């Protein structure tokens, strides 16, 4: 296989070729390395391509047999490998535990070949950090690739690998998927175990999954990574059949709630709203009942929760710094994270109770507000990819902790609410702007119902295909 052939396959396609003996896992690893060498110096998506990549273990079977994979430098861990979280505070840190996520990756046939960039602690939705610099968007290097799964999205969009790991605590899979033209699902809370060290991470807001290019890869990844492990805080309802089999099932007639208004202070761009309208029209033509929905929450309530969760993490950050033998200051933390730490470090323990009660209220009120709908259709981001830097980056020193969280809630207005509630939600690359930038549209399902999302996503992929789109910076462009 040659590189120009490799980049045309999704992960499912490559896995089938390996299983059929038409190509080997080692050949795919070498092709991924070749692609990396061509485009990574331009996009800075991968901070470490493992020196031992050609001997990385993986099951010689599974849906993704032999497929190259990358690890976000935050969230799931690989024993003995570096994990720095995009932060100078953790530079040089090696983890001791294999997370269940990467055990399942190996069992599914994936070969994890390296680490991808992330903003510090994933706090920002922009693709830059003081530790690792700027990750460029393959569609336009002047623009952000999104965050916090920045390097993962850029690497997949540029053709280095067909699938890579991400994590989503407030839009961190869906934002880069939208801005880089990919499929990005944030599964239901509890669908993907974060054990053994991070079960119910961040009070269930953060979930690990992948960024990929096709709906069938999303479905296959659900089959590979889903399932409970001992010690998980609760066991979510399990699917009736493998998710890849949902690709063959009828969708039925659904009641669809469409967000045609903004849910925060940032206006939705006309082209983004047009993408939502086109998707709603496609669903209506399929026979679904489509109707407008009101914003299910107040942006100020979400901002308060964001700040409160950061307050709760302050103590854990202090312990982690001591374990590294380092101090928390401007030499180890970026401005926004330092301000968030200082905001929360001296608050009383009782503050956590107020935060958890705010979370409970939002879950209950939003759940009630959207109960009548089978799925929701919303923008992912109100705008197409923004330039690097600016007020939304964790390197910004102009905002207070409160102002930063208000700005975050305003920009990611359709995303973080579903991290709070736990509903599954997927960004699909259903449109492009007039200047050829990707526009993602979000489909939100009922809690625990990824099966319906798989079927709806399949229908929209067929009705509004995106497979032929390729960014200007791509490993297959010669």
Q: Which residues are catalytic?
A: 72, 148, 172
Q: How far apart are CA 300 and CA 297, in angstroms?
A: 9
Give the tokens for residue 196: 């053994």
Q: How far apart are CA 405 and CA 415, in angstroms?
A: 14
Give the tokens for residue 72: 């976000």
Beta bridge partners of 72: 116
Q: What is the dihedral of CA 140, 146, 149, 150, to 10 degrees?
A: 30
Contact criterion met (CB below 8 Å) for 379 and 319: no
């Amino acid at each position: 296989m040659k590189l120009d052939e490799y980049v045309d396959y999704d992960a499912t396609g490559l896995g089938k070729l390996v299983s059929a003996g038409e190509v080997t896992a080692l050949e795919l690893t070498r092709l991924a390395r070749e692609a990396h060498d061509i485009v990574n110096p331009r996009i800075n998506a991968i901070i470490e391509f493992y020196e031992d990549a050609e001997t990385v273990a993986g099951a010689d079977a599974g849906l993704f047999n032999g497929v190259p994979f990358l690890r976000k430098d935050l969230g799931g861990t690989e024993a003995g490998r570096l994990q720095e979280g995009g932060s100078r505070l953790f530079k040089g840190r090696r983890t001791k535990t294999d997370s269940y996520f990467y055990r399942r990756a190996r069992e599914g046939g994936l070969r994890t070949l390296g680490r991808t960039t992330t903003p510090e602690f994933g706090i920002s939705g922009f693709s830059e950090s003081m530790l690792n610099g700027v990750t460029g968007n393959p569609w336009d290097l002047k623009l952000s690739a999104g965050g916090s799964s920045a390097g993962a999205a850029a690497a997949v969009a540029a053709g280095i690998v067909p699938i890579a790991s991400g994590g989503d605590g407030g839009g961190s899979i869906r934002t880069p998927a939208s801005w880089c033209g990919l499929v990005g699902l944030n599964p239901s809370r509890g669908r993907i175990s974060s054990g053994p060290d991070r079960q119910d991470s961040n009070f269930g807001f953060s979930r690990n999954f992948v960024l990929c290019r096709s709906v069938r890869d999303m479905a296959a990844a659900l089959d590979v990574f889903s399932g409970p492990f001992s010690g998980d805080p609760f066991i979510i309802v399990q699917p009736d059949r493998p998710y890849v089999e949902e690709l063959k099932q009828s969708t039925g007639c659904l009641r669809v709630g469409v967000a045609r208004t903004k849910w925060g202070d940032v206006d939705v761009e006309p082209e983004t709203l047009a993408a939502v309208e086109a998707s709603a029209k496609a669903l209506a033509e399929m026979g679904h009942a489509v109707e407008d929905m009101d914003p299910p929450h107040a942006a100020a309530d979400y901002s308060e929760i964001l700040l409160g969760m950061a307050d709760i993490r302050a103590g854990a950050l202090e312990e982690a710094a001591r374990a590294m033998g380092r101090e928390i200051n401007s030499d180890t933390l970026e401005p926004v994270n330092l301000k968030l730490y200082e905001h929360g470090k001296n608050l009383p323990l009782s503050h956590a109770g107020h935060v958890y009660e705010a979370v409970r209220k939002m879950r209950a009120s939003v759940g009630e507000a959207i109960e009548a709908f089978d799925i929701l259709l919303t923008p992912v981001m109100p705008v197409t990819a923004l330039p690097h830097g600016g007020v939304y980056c964790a390197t910004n020193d102009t905002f207070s902790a409160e102002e930063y969280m208000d700005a975050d809630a305003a920009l990611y207005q359709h995303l973080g609410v579903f991290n709070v509630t736990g509903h599954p939600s997927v960004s699909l690359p259903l449109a492009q702007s007039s200047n050829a930038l990707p526009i993602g549209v979000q489909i939100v399902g009922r809690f625990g119902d990824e099966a319906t999302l798989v079927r709806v996503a399949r229908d929209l992929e067929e009705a509004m295909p995106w497979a032929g789109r390729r960014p200007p910076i791509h490993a297959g462009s010669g």
